[in-house]
A and B are shown apart, each in its own frame.
Chain A
Amino acid sequence: MTDKSDPTTTRRGFLKAGLAAGGAVAAGGAAHAAGDPLITEIQPWAQGLGEGVDATPYGLPIKYEGDVVRRNVEWLTADTISSINFTPIHALDGTITPQGCAFERHHSGAIELRKEDYRLMINGLVDTPLVFTYADLERFPRVTRTYFLECAANTGMEWAGAQLNGSQFTHGMIHNMEYTGVTLRTLLEEAGVKPEGKWVMVEGADASSNARSIPLEKAMDDCLVAFKANGEALRMEHGYPVRLCVPGWEGNMWVKWLRRIEVGDKPWESREETSKYTDTLEDGTSRKWTWVMDAKSVVTSPSPQMPITHGKGPLVITGLAWSGRGAIARVDVSVDGGKNWKEARLAAPGQDMALTRFYLDHDWDGSEMFLQSRAIDSTGYVQPTKTQLREVRGLNSIYHNNCIQTWWVKPSGEAENVEVS
C-alpha cells in the first residue's frame, strides 16, 4: 500500500523532494523490480468509495493544489486594505483565470454590496439623469467578451532591478475573464448624452470611490458594465454585483462596485489620475492618462516558482502574452538571453485585449538557460527590453513596465529572476 501522507502537498515539499532526487524522476513512474506498487497493488480509490454528489455544493480545488493561491507581499504597502495581491500565474495554464485566485487590488477593502442595495446613477450632461437597480441592468441587451485586466503597477517593483523571485510576484497583477454585461454605450444612450459631453467620470460605491475620467469615445466604443465573470456572478473582491470593464486599459480604470457615471465636458483629474497612475520621467515631468497597457509577455514555466524537476530531455516552456492595443500576433522565445529567438506556438489565435497562451517545446540538454519571451501584437508593436524602456523613461515611472523578463535556469533546474546585459 502506498503511503499517501507524504509531504508533497505543498509545492515547496514537492520541489525539495524532486530536487533532492537530483531532478531526475524516472519516466513512466518509479521503477521497482516487482513493478510499480501504484500499479501492482490495489489502491484504496480503486476499491472503496469516493465522496457523494451532495458533499460539496460549491467546490474548491483539491487539497494537493493548496499552493495555487493568491499571495501578497507585505512590505509593498502600508496595510493590507489599500493593497494588492497576486494571481498564481506560474501554476495556471490556458488563458482563463479561476476567479477564486484572481488577483485583488483595493483602495478601501473589498466591500459587501447586495444586489438589492445596488444602485447605478448616470448624471451630468445627459438628457435625463437616471437611476438603475440591479434588476434593471439585467433587462438590457447583453454581450459576452473575454478581456485581460492588468494593474498599471504590474511589474512596477522591477523598474529598479530584479526584485521578486517568481512570475506570480513580478507579473501576477493580472487576470483574464469572460465577462457578461451591458455595454456602457447602451446605458449612456438610455440617458441621452448631450453634445457637450466629452468625458465620463466613473466611481465605485466603496469609500475610496476610485474615481477616474474616461474620454467619451472609449466609453461609447467597447466599455462594458459587467455583472458576470467566467459564467457566474462577480466575486465580492472583484466588484460584486457590478463592475466596469475598460478593455486594454490599465486595471485602475475598471471601477468595481460601480455606482455612478457622470458625463462632463472636461476630465476630473481625480486623485487616481494625478497623484497616482501618472508616470514620472527622468526629467521630473510626468505622463498622465497613460491608459493603454502595451504588449507584454512572461514565461510562467519554468520560472522561479516552477523549477525543472524532471531532468534533461523534453521540456515545455510556456507563458502568457497580451496587448491592450489589439491581439497577440506572435511570441518569440529565447533560451540564451536574447542572442537567438524561436517563434513559439500559440495555443489559440490571439484575441483582442485578452491573454494568449504560448508554448515552446524544447529539448533541454541540462545546461543553464536565460529564458525570455517577446510579444508582438497585431499593430506590429514589439515588446521592448527594460533597457529600451529605461532609455525613454528613466527609473521612476512606477507603472506600465512591459519589459522582457529573464529567468536564469540553472543546471539544477532552479530558476531565478535576473537582469542580463
Chain B
Amino acid sequence: MKLAYWMYAGPAHIGTLRVASSFKNVHAIMHAPLGDDYFNVMRSMLERERDFTPVTASIVDRHVLARGSQEKVVDNITRKDKEERPDLIVLTPTCTSSILQEDLQNFVDRASITSNSDVILADVNHYRVNELQAADRTLEQVVRYYLEKARRQGTLDQSITKEPSANIIGIFTLGFHNQHDCRELKRLLQDLNIKVNKVIPEGGSVKDLQDLPKAWFNLVPYREIGLMTAIYLEKNFGMPYISITPMGIVDTAECIRQIEKHVNNLVSNKKFNYEPYIDQQTRFVSQAAWFSRSIDCQNLTGKKAVVFGDATHAASITRILAREMGIRVSCTGTYCKHDAEWFKEQVQGFCDEILITDDHTKVGDMIARIEPSAIFGTQMERHIGKRLDIPCGVISSPVHIQNFPLGYRPFLGYEGTNQIADLVYNSFTLGMEDHLLEIFGGHDTKEVITKSLSTDTDLTWNNESQLELNKIPGFVRGKIKRNTEKFARQNNITNITVEIMYAAKEALSA
C-alpha cells in the first residue's frame, strides 16, 4: 500500500481508452463498476468534444461479483455493434476486472462470431503498466491486428508511395497540445515536400491501417506513445522511424536531418538537401534563434530554473533552456520512471541534478530547496509555484482545461519554438521590470507573508529588520526571508535584526 494524494500518470485503462476514442468509429467497452466511466467526462470537458465519447461500460455489480458476467459482456458488445456499427470494439479491462480474472478473451471470441465489428481485448495489466505504457501497447496491438488481418486476407500492399511520404504516429486525444503539434508537423513535412500518408490514431480509421507500410518512414514525435508501433513496423516491414522530438531549434534541425537521411536512402536519382531550409527557418522564420541573441534573453542568463514533466517534454525543454537560452537548469526530472535511463541520457550535461519520481511531494521539496526563478512543469508544479510565489510555465500533462487552448499553440516544429520562447520569457519576471524594482526598492511594500511550507514561527523580526525586509522587491522577498531565517536557525538566533539579515546574505552568497 502506498499513501498517495496525487498521481502524474493515470491508470492503464485510461491509456487504452485514449487510443480507442482517438480513432474514428472505434468503440470501447469497459468491464468496470459504476462510476469508472470518468474518462467520458474528461474527454467531453477537457477536449470540449462535440460528440458522445465512444466509450460505454459493461457494468460490474453485485450480481456479476456473485455469478460472473455470463452473457452481460457479450450482450453489451453485440448491442453496441447494432447501435453504432463501429469498425472495431475494444473490450477494456480495468483494475476491477484484473482481479476478477474472468476470461474476457472468451467473451471477445464469442462476441466476434455474431457481430459485424471486429472485437479485440486490450492486452494491458492494470497493476503493471500506467496510462502511457498502456496507450503505447494498445496502439501497437490495434496496428498489428489490422496488418495481420490484411496479410491473411491478401489485401496487404507493401509497395511504397511514389513520392516521399511519412506516417505520424502518436497523436492522441487528451494529449498535451497534440492537435496543434499535429498541424505543425504536417506543415513541416509539406515544406519538405513529403506527403503525410497516415496520422494515427487521432482521426484515423482502422480500415486504413493496412496502408501504413506505404509510407517511406514513420515519425514518432513523442517518446511515451507510439514507439512500440514504430518498432513493430520496422521489424515486420523494414520501415525506418525517427524518434527525435522536433522540439526546439536544435532538435527540430536534427529531426529534419534524420528525415533527409532516410529519404535519400530510398531515392536513387536526385538527392534531397534540407540544409538551406533549416537555415532559412532557423534564422528568419522562427524567431527563437534571434530571441536567444536579443538583449531580452541576456537578462535570463544564468537564472535558475527547474523542469519536471513527462520524459519527452521535460527532456526537450531542459535542452532548450540550457542550450538555446543560456538558462541554468538546476534540476530536471520526469515521472516516467519506466523510461528513466533514456531520460538521464538525454539531459546529461544540461542540468545540475536529475530527479526521477512520481511522488509530487518530492518534487515540491526539491523546488522549495532550490528556489528557482521559474518552474517548467505540470499543473502540479504550477500549484507548488503558486504556494512558493515562483512563476511556472506548464509544459506537460497532467493538465487542466486551460491547457487545451483554442488558439494555435504547438510545441513542436518552428512555430513551436516561438511558442516556447514566449512561454519561457513570460514565466521569468520581465528583465527590465526586475532592474527597476531593484533600483527603486520595489513598489509593493505590504506586510510580508510567510511563504515557506513549514509553519513554525519561533523567530521574531524586530521593527527595523521588518522595514528592511519590506524594501526588498516582492518577488525575491520571500526567498530572502527564508534564507535569513534558515541562517538564524543554524546559528541559534531567535531575534532577527538588520545585522543578522546582512550576515545571512554574506554567509549565503559566500
Q: Answer yes or no: are A and B bound together in one complex.
A: no
